[in-house]
Every structure is written in C-alpha cells, then in structure tokens.
Amino acid sequence: MPEGHTLHRLAADLTEAFAGRRVRSSSPQGRFAAGRLDGRTLGPSEAWGKHLFVTVEDVPWQVHVHLGLYGSFRLTPGSRHAVVGQVRWRLTASARSGAPVTADLRGPTVCEIVTPGEVDAVIARLGPDPLRADADPGRAFARLRRSTRPIAALLLDQSVLAGVGNVYRAEALFRHGVDPMLPGSAVDLATWQAIWDDLVALMRVGVERNRIDTVRPEHEPEAMGRPPREDDHGGEVYVYRRDGMPCWVCGTPVATTDLDSRRLFWCPGCQCADSVAP
C-alpha cells in the first residue's frame, strides 16, 4: 500500500520489467487514454514522494500516476490474463521481447499524460524525499522551524517532506521519543537530523522488502518471546494501528486521536517531554 517506499519500489519494478521494451497499452475500464502508448517503447520509471512517472522513448510526455489511498499497480508474469475488476491501465510486454509481463493499475487518484512542464510543477511543490539521494533535509527543517503546527502534522505535509505517510510518521516519532504534538518550531536540529536519517534508512528497507518494518532487533518478536505480528501493513511496527495494545517497550497502552482528519498513533509513555528515546 502506498507510502513513498511503495512508489520507489514500483518505479524500480516497472523499469526492470518494461524499460526498453515495446508494450501494449490499454484502459479496460476506459478512463485513461492508454492508446497513446500502445506500440511504443517505454523508458525508465521514476518516483518523487508518492508520485510515479513512467517515461516513454522518443516523446517528451510521461504518464503521471498517484495511487491515492487505495490504488494499486500490480505486476504479474504472463501477458494474457483475463481482466478482473476495474483496470484503469493495463501494460503488457510479450514473450517476443523478454519475459512476458502484465501490469494492472486499479483505483488510482491520478493516471494522466503530462508534459515536461507539468512534471516539473508536480516536483516543485514537493518537499525533500528521503528516498532520493539529492534530497536536502535542511529545506524541510526550515519549514518546521517556521511553523507552530504539530510535528506530526508537518511530517504528513508533502510540501514539507515527500513520501512519508501515516505509518512512517507514527513510527519515526516513536523511534525518537518525540511527542507528536510538539510544535515544529520547537524541534531542534539534532532531533530533526536524527529523524531524517532514520527515515532514509527505514524507507530504504521498505523499498527492499516492499513492506514497512520499523521494530529494532532488540524489540522484535523473537527477542521478546512473543509471536510475530506479520499483518498486511508490513512486518513489525511499534504503534501504527496498535491503539489500546501495550507498547512493546514500556507497556503503556498505545493511544490514538484524530489530527487533521487522519488517525495518529503514539505511546504516551515513550513519547513525552521527559521521556528518553526508546
């Protein structure tokens, strides 16, 4: 499911499966002008935060995809599958150019052909993306320091930081013992740098494993003598959707509240002004 790591993994998978290959392109559901790509050769795909761009050889335009809350873009071997459900965009590459493969896009918020100028405009409104090597965490820190909004709200603001979603927000704040309601202006540079570095590491693991894993080795189920969780959010997490359950570290029940119409999860024991980072 789509936080930034999902999009970066998807970009890599699409590039591996389709770059340099001639594709068939269609919109079984009919809501995307997929015919413009039919018979063309794809270039590499790239992710910026939660946005995906699929390039096409010999033309300046690209396909811009945003999965939104429940979009999915799934690759499966083979090129002759029956269409199941509402497929906005189907890409296939046949056995003639390598391993046959199909990619089906369902339920995206955005799937459109965009000009280079439009690509630049999307990227321009995004903050630094921890998964991009050229990202500048200082840009995000400058935004934090100018804001009285809670750090938890700022971490989800894609113009402050690109690619972080509700799970990474909750988990990163937990791992650094930061009170989610701390105003951005009160975050010191050392704390910010630690959170940023941690997001870079956590999200890279997310890309590799294609799931979110945030629990340190010493708190993993094997080390704690508890059964593994392994739910559909990924592997092990500390607080995300664990409200009411005891914190893995201090035993305090995990709390939840609404913040800007999004659910926020945190441990009141580990994440307060006088707590030491777990």
Minimum Å distance from CB 158 to DNA?
5
How many CB atoms are located within 10 Å of the residue 173 CB?
Answer: 26
Tell me which residues are annotated as active site: 2-3, 50, 262
- What's the token pair of residue 102? 């199909």
Nearer to DNA among residue 124 and residue 273 (C-beta): 124
Quick one: which of 163, 132, 218 has its CA closest to 49? 163
Nearer to DNA among residue 139 and residue 263 (C-beta): 263
- What's the token pair of residue 84? 């199941």
Distance CA 27, CA 73 (A): 13
β-bridge partners, 101 = 77, 93
Nearer to DNA among residue 43 and residue 127 (C-beta): 127
Minimum Å distance from CB 50 to DNA?
4
Residues in the chain: 278
Report helix, strand or coil for 233: coil
Minimum Å distance from CB 85 to DNA?
4
Nearer to DNA among residue 21 and residue 73 (C-beta): 73
Report helix, strand or coil for 57: coil
Nearer to DNA among residue 43 and residue 49 (C-beta): 49
- What's the token pair of residue 149? 């909004």
3-state helix, strand, coil in the chain (%, to 5): 30, 25, 45
Identity of the residue numbered 199: L
Tell me if 41 sits within 8 A of 63, measured CB to CB.
no
Minimum Å distance from CB 162 to DNA?
8
DSSP class of residue 212 equals B
Write out the residues near DNA by the rule CB under 7 A.
1-3, 6, 29, 31, 49-50, 66, 68-70, 72, 85-86, 88, 106-107, 109, 156, 158, 165-167, 212, 232-234, 241, 260-263
The beta-carbon contacts of 192-195 under 8 Å, at least 24 apart in sequence, are 192/137, 192/140, 192/141, 192/144, 193/137
Minimum Å distance from CB 57 to DNA?
28
